[in-house]
Amino acid sequence: MENSKRRFLKGTCALFAGATGASLLATVNASEGAKAESDIKYAMIHDETKCIGCRACEVACRETNQVPEGVSRVRIEQTGPFGEYPNEYYHFSRVSCQHCEDAPCVNVCPTGAAFIEKETGIVSVNAWKCVGCQYCIAACPYKIRFINPVTHAADKCDFCRETNLAQGKQPACVEACPTKALVFGNLKDPTSELVQVLRANPTQRAKVALGTRPKLFRILAKSGEVIL
């Protein structure tokens, strides 16, 4: 049933390609995203000052969301070493979906497979609607989408929308982090830990100049470089 739906969508996608249909559907998808109004808007903070690079988050994500080897929804990028022996240190930063409020991946998807969940603001993928055209992969300025080699659909972090969140738990990466470097919560709830941490710390988001309005915040570990 799923396969026949996808075959049907693949066919209709081919019809739309190159015609005004694709842009029409893309516009519909974008406006649906823009209509996403509710009391919940989920976001995440990676506090790089607390991150020890243990990668427990990567492992937990893979196990919880059955992400196959060779691809990943979240990875920790290591840079360094900095400083002089014996005081060398590394920086660790999270690479994953930014859950953009104006998401290029959603705007270009011709089938509606890429979407923003209006109740939560989570950017997600309906695998059965995905025809594997990879427009979203090309459009994502953060280069974090991939084709899942098992489902053959576009894939990425969805804050464990269908796994841990559906069971009333925190995302797997947050639960697994031994240093509490990851904070997940509702941007619209002023009492949430997420908002408290955002209020108490200077944060940074990637490529904000693009107007994507990302919802992955970083508390930077990097200090300014001093060259004498």
- In the complex, which residues of this chain contact ligand SF4 (CB under 6 A)? 51-57, 76, 92, 97-100, 103-105, 108-109, 111, 113-114, 123, 125, 130-136, 140, 142, 144-145, 154, 156, 176-177, 179, 181-182, 212
Q: How far is the CB of 72 from ligand SF4 (least distance, A)?
A: 12
Nearest distance from C-beta of residue 177 to ligand SF4, angstroms: 3
Cβ distance to ligand SF4 smaller for residue 130 or 165: 130
Find, among 67, 65, 91, 47, the residue nearest to 216 by Cα: 47
Kindly tell me which of 30 and 144 has the beta carbon lying closer to ligand SF4: 144
Question: Of the two residues 18 and 190, which places its CB atom closer to ligand SF4 in the complex?
Answer: 18
Separation of alpha carbons 49 and 92, rounded Å: 9
Write down the least CB distance from residue 228 to ligand SF4, Å. Answer: 31
Residues in Cβ contact with 19 at an 8 Å cutoff, skipping those fewer than 6 apart: none
- 100 vs 219 by CB, closer to ligand SF4: 100
Least spacing, CB of residue 227 vs ligand SF4, in Å: 29
152-155 long-range contacts (CB < 8 A, ≥24 apart) are: 153/113, 153/125, 153/127, 153/128, 154/105, 154/113, 154/114, 154/125, 154/130, 155/67, 155/71, 155/73, 155/125, 155/127
